[in-house]
């Protein structure tokens, strides 16, 4: 019995990983649908059936993301900062700085060679620094989230965004649409604004090479390119960046098994 489960209940999607050692055996993602407890239970069932395992095969589980109590299975509650750090460390042991772009916020984590959190900073309660800003802009431009990145990369002339507030950013984007600015230039402008915000956060905790990205933001090639340009470096990009915290939670489950 050496399987461990990590569950990351996000505001938009819930992610789960069954790990053997620090390697993911099975993973699964569902929409959180405003019922986080149900999402955690469902992802566990889904993971078990995909992995063809029984509940008894899972030695322990850690849950991160939304703060949950009273689940039907024993679990350890861990912060998403710690889980993200462990997850990145298992994939990229050389990473010392992590940019974790989530739906509701962005965090910068400094990690040591063992994946322990040395320091961290989280963007303040404001959608402008998070994936939510990209969702809002995708909605204004009537494009799918997954098309944001490829479209942004085509831009030759990114728009300068004067605001770092998502609500004003939305109306600014609407004005640019009305003026006939190409969608790719608006997107590239938004990506640049996000990258600048991330760079400011990094200044607050300090930077050490190398730098990895995680969270749903890591799926957006437009954002990645903007960050790389802003910081003047090449990011370490996981194959499935959105699953990093769930993988880290599975590792935390191993560490914290009672």
Partner 1 sequence: MSEKSKGLSKVEEICSQRSGRAKELKDEGKKIMGYFCIYPPLEMLSALDLLPYRILGDMREPITKADACLPTVVCPFDRSALDLGLKGKYDFLDGVVWAHVCEVGEKTAHVWRTYLNPAYFHFIDIPHTIHKPAQNQFVQQLKDFQKTLMSFTGKKLTSEMLAEAINAHNEQRSLVRKLYDLRKPDPPLISGSEVIKTLKAIMSLPVKEGSELLREVISEVGERKDGVPFRPVRLLIWGSIIDDTPLIEMMEELGANVVMDDTCVGSRAFFPDVKLTPDPLEGLAYRYLVDLKCPRTFKESTYGETKKDYLTDLRSRFSYISDYAKEWKVSGVVLQSVRYCDIHGYEVPGLGDYLDSVGLPHTYIEHTYDERSLAPLRTRIQAFLEIIRS
Q: Catalog residues that contact partner 1 under the rule CB under 8 A.
A: 67, 77-82, 105, 116-122, 124-125
- Least distance from partner 1 to the Cβ atom of residue 152, Å: 29
Separation between Cα atoms, residue 192 and residue 237, nearest integer Å: 18
Task: Please give the full DSSP string across 58-93, using - where no structure is assigned.
Answer: EEEEEEEES-----SS--EE--HHHHHHHHHHHH-T
Confirm if 183 and 141 have CB atoms less than 8 A apart.
yes
| Least CB distance to partner 1 at residue 190 (A) | 23
Q: Name the β-bridge partners of 152.
A: none
CA gap 96, 3 in Å, rounded = 27
Q: Which is nearer to partner 1, 61 or 64 (CB)?
A: 64
Cα–Cα distance, 141 to 143 (Å, whole number):
6
Q: Minimal distance in Å, beta carbon 116 to partner 1?
A: 5
State in angstroms the smallest separation of the CB of 107 from partner 1.
9
**Which residue, 217 or 222, has its beta carbon nearer to partner 1?**
217
* Residue among 79 and 181 whose Cβ is closer to partner 1: 79
Minimum CB separation of residue 125 from partner 1 in Å reads 6
Closer residue to partner 1 in complex, CB, 139/162: 162
Closest to partner 1 by CB, 99 or 186: 99
What does the alpha-carbon distance between residue 72 and residue 244 come to, in Å, rounded to a whole number? 24
52 dihedral zone (left: phi>0; alpha: psi -120 to 50; beta): left
């Amino acid at each position: 019995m050496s399987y461990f489960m990590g569950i990351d209940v996000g505001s938009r999607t819930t992610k789960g990983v069954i790990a053997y050692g620090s390697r993911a055996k099975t993973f699964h993602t569902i929409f959180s649908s405003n019922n986080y407890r149900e999402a955690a239970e469902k992802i566990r069932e889904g993971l078990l059936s995909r992995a063809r395992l029984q509940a008894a095969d899972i030695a322990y589980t850690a849950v991160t993301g939304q703060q949950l109590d009273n689940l039907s299975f024993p679990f350890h509650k861990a912060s998403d900062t710690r889980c993200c750090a462990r997850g990145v460390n298992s994939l990229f042991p050389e990473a010392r700085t992590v940019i974790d772009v989530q739906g509701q916020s962005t965090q910068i984590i400094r990690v040591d060679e063992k994946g322990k959190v040395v320091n961290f900073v989280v963007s303040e309660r404001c959608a402008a620094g998070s994936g939510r800003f990209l969702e809002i802009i995708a909605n204004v431009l009537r494009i799918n989230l997954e098309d944001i990145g490829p479209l942004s990369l085509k831009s030759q002339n990114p728009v300068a965004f004067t605001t770092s507030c998502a609500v004003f950013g939305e109306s600014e984007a609407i004005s640019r649409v009305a003026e006939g600015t190409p969608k790719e230039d608006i997107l590239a402008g938004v990506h640049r604004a996000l990258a600048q915000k991330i760079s400011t956060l990094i200044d607050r905790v300090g930077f050490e090479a190398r730098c990895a990205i995680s969270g749903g933001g890591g799926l957006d090639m437009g954002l990645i390119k903007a960050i790389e340009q802003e910081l003047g470096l090449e990011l370490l990009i996981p194959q499935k960046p959105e699953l990093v915290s769930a993988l880290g939670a599975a590792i935390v489950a191993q560490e914290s098994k009672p």
